[in-house]
Amino acid sequence: MKNSILIAGGTGLIGTTLTAAFEKSGHNVFILTRNKARCTNPKYRWWNPDQDAISDNALEGVDVIVNLCGTGIADKSWTDKRKQELHDSRVKPANLLFKTAHKSGKIQHYISASGINCYTVNTPNQVSEDDAYGTDYLSRLVQQWEHAALHFEALCPVTLLRISAVLSENGGALAKLKPLFQWGLGSPLGSGKQPFTWVHIQDLTRAIVHITENKLDGAYNICGKTVSNKTFSKVLAKSVKRWMLPFGVPAFVMKLMLGEMSEMLLNGVNTNAEKLKATGFVFEFEEIAEALRQS
């Protein structure tokens, strides 16, 4: 069955790739935008979550909403103001969409981006979707994000996409790291023992299409095989044919440079995507070496 899908956050890295994947599979896609000039194209529909405003036709003919909204976690230092921006950029869009969908009463499935860093960090045993939230800042942020998404359970099935670091040649985490390794300046961060959880952009978008077409609800980790930060660094250095520096960036240096945001890099989540694979989804890039060769 083909769907009419509305994507919030459809002009970003994930959104543009996902739009192409949905359309290739024959689905009808609409995109929410803050740019009114774009709305001369019927594919676009206007909204502004900061103003709690959305066009009357935003959900017209829509049966699935995919909400990818959320300001970049690593784009700026985590000041109190920035933390509020991170929260609002995730919760306000979800609240506005819920309020609008509640009036229309026609949405059949709500799919929300979320974060893999919702679990307790650096655990020796792998955690899964059934495990509790952690207590660090990112875990609390994801919990608030998911809580807003779960309001939709009053209307329809809800899926939470617990997305890990996205590997793509066009942006995301790799775009920031790869140049350092190409210049021969790559190294592990801190001890290098912390887990690094990742997913290739093509597998991420394929997973979202799979979840949509099979009407899967609940939380799903979307990630390849977790490796240590040191292993990731070694493989990335090899992929760009450069040596990795023989020492890691000390934790205290990262804390001085990045403040609280350093926790995101010095800690990690040890998890897997077994629940997603049990639904029949097959990763094309499950091993980090292959993913980096194709990024």
| Domains of the chain by start residue, with CATH | 4-167+197-223+270-282 (3.40.50.720)
Residue 84 phi, psi (nearest 5): -65, -40
Q: What is the mean pLDDT of residues 18-29?
A: 97
How much is the pTM?
A: 0.95
**DSSP letter, residue 246:** S
Q: Tell me the pLDDT tens digit for each residue of 169-217.
A: 888 878 888 998 999 999 999 999 999 999 999 999 999 999 999 999 9
Q: How confident is the model at residue 105 (pLDDT cuts 50, 70, 90)?
A: confident
Q: Tell me the pLDDT tens digit for each residue of 125-136.
A: 999 999 999 999
